[in-house]
Amino acid sequence: MALLLKTDIERGDAWQRALHAADPDMTVHDWPYDGDPAEIEFALVWGPPRGALRRFADLKAIFSIGAGIDHLASDPELPDGVPVVRMVEPGLTAGMTEFVILGVLTHHRFMLDYAAQQRTRIWREIPQIAAARRRVGIMGLGVLGSEAADKVAALGFAVAGWSRSPKERPGISTFHGEAGLEPFLARSDILVCLLPLTVETEGILNARTFAALPRGAALVSTGRGGHVVEADLLAALDSGQIGGATLDVFREEPLPPESPFWAHPRVILTPHVASMTIPDSAAEAVVANIRRLRAGQPLHHVVDLRRGY
Amino acid sequence: MALLLKTDIERGDAWQRALHAADPDMTVHDWPYDGDPAEIEFALVWGPPRGALRRFADLKAIFSIGAGIDHLASDPELPDGVPVVRMVEPGLTAGMTEFVILGVLTHHRFMLDYAAQQRTRIWREIPQIAAARRRVGIMGLGVLGSEAADKVAALGFAVAGWSRSPKERPGISTFHGEAGLEPFLARSDILVCLLPLTVETEGILNARTFAALPRGAALVSTGRGGHVVEADLLAALDSGQIGGATLDVFREEPLPPESPFWAHPRVILTPHVASMTIPDSAAEAVVANIRRLRAGQPLHHVVDLRRGY
């Protein structure tokens, strides 16, 4: 019995090494695999072709290499009844927390404005407001959103979180559901999106959302490109309703060279690098989960495919 | 008996309000003051003219508005025997911690490189290393340096601190003195300067210092412009020995328009805004210290003028 690994080519060796270190007895086959389908017990994958996992009749679990599982949920031919497990591992969480703090501080400290002043050699202080009076709003209070919320709050910011269902978290104001969205947005000077991409959250960052924010609010978009209605974001940036944005994810990736985001003076653009699964820590998490299953315990972090996360 | 206040013009009103709120019974005179010198018991000042505090014979303490006291220590005609108190207040500390975290994360996450890629519309991931393997070195372990070191370490970075005299701090590797400088620098991928400006630290960020860092190290310079030998820094940036720098302080401020730092592609430049004393919280700290003195207790945060901090 073996694990089938489908990752990007550059990281294949690191994953092989990490999985071997985490469980030297586990056989790992690289994708594509032409051997006996019955040998494959687990799949650890990113973006498998539609229907490609169906032929493994003895598959016991599908592990997503990324935190998001939209690459799997969007496959209508995913094998029935096989649990799908989202990636939860400390490296991925820490990386996202870093990126969110960086994005929040960049806008809080007016770094886009100071960069513009630097280009024109202007030495001028912009009155700084205290973190306690800067309201950060985090959409999504899953593993990534909760950790980011805690760490941003630890820096003294006034942090609120919004999620589909009610959640409570010490030190964080929480809002939920359709009814909670507008009051949440109205108090968010810096909006961070860490939602999963689902049918419900597709296009959630749209003109109505932006209009509900305080004028000049900043956006840190690190969930999925599908959350953003890009034309609406451009209009909000051009009108000044959105004062600045850190954009890491896009509808089409790589972002086409003709996209107006590249040269927008109020946009900081990164190529989907906010956080990456780290093979070493991730392999340990996957192997621990497999051991749980073998010991007859329930798998951790199994996704509800209908809900989409 | 009264307090004499010398601040910049824009902040005068905020200081007056804050001091009144902290102690409604205290008389506060704005600079310049033409009244009876004997009425002045305390001075709360930034950059008083040389010798200008001498005429207040009954002065009991001089409070610096900033964390640094080089603006006072450099005055050879400062009244003898009057304690000089550095500014320690939570707003100033929090602001500096924010700026240091922002600077560290900016270089850790290759934001200068991603900005260059954005300008040329290149979508390319740069392999990220984990915070645990990124070695941050903080020069100066006073109030600001210690707090910054703790908060950077809390994000998972490998943090060391360097100070003149030996210090210990949980979770931070510490180095001290001339002998400790080179080993400290050799392990610092991101160097942060939060030293006081003294005769000993003037020009401490020089060619020898930069050469002792790992090649491509980043610099976050937020202490004083006098720490930096600017020609040496430019040479190190141009050779790639320093891979990037966040510079908030300069020898001459405002930085002259002809300075090559403005347009340097590896420099993020801000106009001495890393941290500011916040009148509300600072007034409380000053009033609490005055009350301590009146109650016969020793003042907190008195400076050793010979040492320079």
- If one counts the domains in chain A, the total is 2
Residue B1, pLDDT score: 78
Q: Which residues of A touch B (CB under 8 A)?
A: 91, 94-95, 97-99, 101-102, 105-106, 108-109, 111, 114-115, 117-118, 121, 123-126, 128, 130-131, 151, 154-156, 253-255, 257, 262-263, 268-273, 276, 278
Q: For residue B255, what is the nearest residue in chain A, using CA coordinates?
A: A123
User: Which DSSP state fits B205?
Assistant: B
Say yes or no: A120 and A239 in one domain. yes
Alpha-carbon separation of residue A239 from A134, A217, A225, A258, A288 (angstroms): 22, 12, 21, 21, 50
Report mean pLDDT in 10-residue bins for chain B, 309 residues.
Answer: 89 93 96 95 96 96 95 93 96 97 98 98 95 97 97 97 97 98 98 96 98 98 98 98 98 98 98 94 97 97 92
Rounded to 5°, angle at Cα B200 from B197 and B206 = 85
Sheet holding A40-45, edge to edge: A27-30, A2-6, A40-45, A61-64, A84-85
The predicted structure's pLDDT at residue B2? 96
- Evaluate whether residue B303 is within a structural domain: no
My answer on whether B77 and B146 are in the same domain is no
Distance (Å) from the alpha carbon of B270 to chain A's nearest alpha carbon: 6
Q: What pLDDT score was predicted for residue B71?
A: 93
CATH number at residue A18: 3.40.50.720
Q: Where are the beta strands (DSSP E) in A93-236?
A: 135-139, 158-163, 173-176, 190-193, 217-221
pLDDT at res. A1: 78
- Residue A6: other Cβ atoms inside 10 A: 21
Q: Is the pLDDT score of A10 beyond 90?
A: no
DSSP A6-27: E--GGGHHHHHHHHHHH-TT-E
Q: Which residues of A are catalytic?
A: 224, 272
Specify the 3-state DSSP secondary structure of A219.
strand
Q: Do A270 and B131 touch (CB under 8 A)?
A: no
Residue A302 lies in a domain: no
Chain B hits for A101, CB-CB cut-off 8 Å, are 101, 105, 155
Which among A95, A90, A142, A21 is positioned nearest to A285, based on CA atoms? Answer: A90
Mean pLDDT of A64-89: 94
Residue B35 belongs to a domain: yes
Q: Closest partner residue to A98 among B105, B272, B276, by Cβ? A: B105
Q: Which residues of B touch A268 (CB under 8 A)?
A: 111, 114-115, 118
Are A262 and B124 inside 8 Å of each other by CB? no
In a domain, A51, yes or no: yes
Query: What number of helices (H) and strands (E) belong to chain A?
Result: 9, 12
Residue A12: which pLDDT band, with cuts at 50, 70 and 90?
Answer: confident
Give me the pLDDT at residue B35, please. 95
Enumerate the active-site residues of B: 224, 272
Query: What is the pairing mode between strands A135-139 and A40-45?
Result: unpaired
pLDDT tens digits for A181-216? Answer: 999 999 999 999 999 999 999 999 999 999 999 999
**pLDDT for residue A128 is more than 80:** yes
A108 and A239 part of one domain: yes
With respect to residue B308, please indicate whether it lies within any of the assigned structural domains: no
- Beta-bridged to residue B62, according to DSSP, are B43, B84
Model pTM score:
0.95
Query: Do A74 and A137 reside in the same domain of the chain?
Result: no
In the beta sheet, which residues pair with residue B247? B221, B269
What's the domain range around B212? Answer: 90-269
> Is the per-residue pLDDT at A11 higher than 90?
no
Place of tokens 């996957």: A286
Whether residue A46 is found in the same domain as residue A118: no
Burial A45-81 (b: 16+ CB within 10 A, else e): bbbbeeebbeebeebbbbbbbbbbbbbbbebeebbee
Contacts of B130 in chain A (CB under 8 A): 91, 94-95, 278
For residue B154, which residues of chain A lie inside 8 Å, CB to CB? 154
Instruction: Give yes or no: residues A122 and A257 share one domain.
Output: yes
The answer to whether ipTM exceeds 0.85 is: yes
Q: What angle do CA A281, A282, A288 make, to 5 degrees?
A: 95
Per-residue model confidence (pLDDT) at position A209: 98
In terms of domains, do A30 and A47 share one?
yes
Same domain, A110 and A226: yes
The per-residue pLDDT for range A253-267, each reduced to its tens digit, is 999 999 999 999 999
Flag whether B102 is in a domain: yes
Q: Within this chain, do residues B134 and B19 fall inside the same structural domain, yes or no? A: no
In a domain, A309, yes or no: no
Is there a domain that residue A303 lies in?
Answer: no
Tokens representing A199?
Answer: 């049918």
End-to-end CA distance of chain B: 28
Same domain, yes or no: B64 and B161: no
> Do A120 and A78 reside in the same domain of the chain?
no
CA A306 to centroid of chain Cα atoms: 19
Q: Long-range CB contacts (< 8 A, 24+ apart) of B297-302?
A: B299/B61, B299/B83, B299/B85, B300/B85, B300/B88, B301/B85, B301/B86, B301/B87, B301/B88, B302/B83, B302/B84, B302/B85
Cβ(B168)–Cβ(B174) below 8 Å: yes
Same domain, yes or no: A80 and A176: no
